[in-house]
Amino acid sequence: MNKNTDKTHSGFIAIVGRPNVGKSTLINSFLGSHLSITSPKPQTTRQQIQGIITLDKTQLIFVDTPGLHRESKKKLNQYMNQAASKALIDVDVVLFLVEVLKFTDEDEAVLKKLKSVDAPVFLVINKIDTVKDKEKILPYILNLQSKFNFAQVIPISAEKGLQCDVLKKEIIAHIPEGPFYYPEESKTNRSPGFHVSEMIREQVMLQLGDELPYATTVSVDTWDDQEKIIKIGATIWAERDSQKAIIVGENGDRIKRIGTIARRSIESFVGKQVFLELWVKVKENWSDDSKSLEHLGYYDFD
């Protein structure tokens, strides 16, 4: 018997890039499920989230990170930059995600951080489905290759799933031999409560649009898993009374809509009927206060 058939491979893959470039969409595409929340707004992802795929003898642990910012005025932004930077430590592959035909100062700042990384860096060019004239892509690639020695350059569309299988095969080829870090059935390192809080926050961001993009967070306060239903109580935190009024809406219409749509997503996630009760409370300046951030689940804040 060939002993090599018993060998397993496992490794961590960090997905990095500027805000709103499609990192969460890519990890959701890999997992085939809505693990990381998405919205058209930058800074949707605030914390490091691991998505786990086990394929026969290989386990891939994708690390979805907040977008790296050049300026970090508030402690929340500093936390997000720290979470993204820590994801680059001891990983086996780095996916540097950019948007096709765009390369901003923020992209340049991310690339600068990657120059000190030991792991192979893949240039992953997202949203190629949006370019009609494909001949423009090659000069764009050549320009970026002049800036960095990328191990691979792979154009994809995370939203459409184009070339994602090609990218996955190249990642697997770079994963070292080693034992699995998680049980084969694992999909994420985060608790169900964390993902529920994120699903609620996703609806807050989608429903509020430009009115209140970043001044809210969500905590899950109670979780009662009964035989036929899970009863969940959660709080949406704002920084000012005026923000609370916006979230609640006229006659409570907006908070009801947020709760209704979030509940459907949660039921799909937990596979069970859910009773969701939401409160809106004010914690002044929570996004710039270390103790408040820790209390609200933003751990490892320095």
Mean pLDDT (whole number) for 14-42: 78
| Structural contact between residues 234 and 276, judged by C-beta atoms closer than 8 angstroms | yes
The whole-angstrom distance between residue 50's C-alpha and the CA centroid of its chain comes to: 8
How confident is the model at residue 50, as a pLDDT?
81
Nearest by Cα to 125 from 91, 80, 164: 164
Mean pLDDT (whole number) for 203-218: 77
Q: Is the pLDDT of residue 164 over 90?
A: yes
Place domain 192-295 in its CATH homologous superfamily.
Answer: K homology (KH) domain (3.30.300.20)
Q: Which helix (H) or strand (E) is 232 found in, with range?
A: strand 229-238
Q: How far is 15 from 9, CA to CA, in rounded Å?
A: 19
Band of pLDDT at residue 47, cut at 50, 70 and 90:
low
Q: Is the pLDDT of residue 4 over 50?
A: no
Mind giving me the DSSP string for 251-299? GGHHHHHHHHHHHHHHHHHHTSEEEEEEEEEE-TTGGG-HHHHHHTT--
Q: Is the pLDDT of residue 178 over 90?
A: yes
Mean pLDDT (whole number) for 52-81: 74
Mind giving me the DSSP string for 64-133? E-PPP-S---SHHHHHHHHHHHHTTTT-SEEEEEEETT---HHHHHHHHHHTT--S-EEEEEE-GGG-S-
Six-digit token string for 72:
């970090």
Six-digit token string for 170:
């190249």
Q: How far is 284 from 186, CA to CA, in rounded Å?
A: 37
pLDDT, tens digit (0-9, with 9 covering 90-100), for 266-288: 998 899 999 999 999 998 877 77
Q: Give the mean pLDDT of the chain.
A: 85
Contacts of 228 (CB under 8 A, 6+ apart): 272, 273
pLDDT, tens digit (0-9, with 9 covering 90-100), for 116-141: 888 999 999 999 999 999 899 999 99
Band of pLDDT at residue 205, cut at 50, 70 and 90:
confident
pLDDT, tens digit (0-9, with 9 covering 90-100), for 240-261: 899 999 999 999 999 999 999 9
Nearest by Cα to 83 from 57, 49, 38, 113: 49
Confidence (pTM): 0.76
Nearest by Cα to 290 from 74, 71, 75, 43: 75
Backbone angles phi, psi at 265, to 5 degrees: -65, -40
As annotated, the residues of the chain forming the CATH 3.40.50.300 domain(s) are 3-173
Q: Is the pLDDT of residue 299 over 70?
A: no
> Could you tell me the strand order of the sheet in which 58-64 lies?
49-55, 58-64, 9-16, 93-99, 121-126, 152-155
Q: CA of 10: how far to CAs of 64, 71, 172, 176, 197, in Å?
A: 17, 35, 9, 6, 29
| 3-173 CATH fold | Rossmann fold (3.40.50)
How confident is the model at residue 201, as a pLDDT?
86
**Which of the listed ranges 43-52, 74-83, 116-125, 196-205 does the model predict with the highest average pLDDT?**
116-125
As annotated, the residues of the chain forming the CATH 3.30.300.20 domain(s) are 192-295
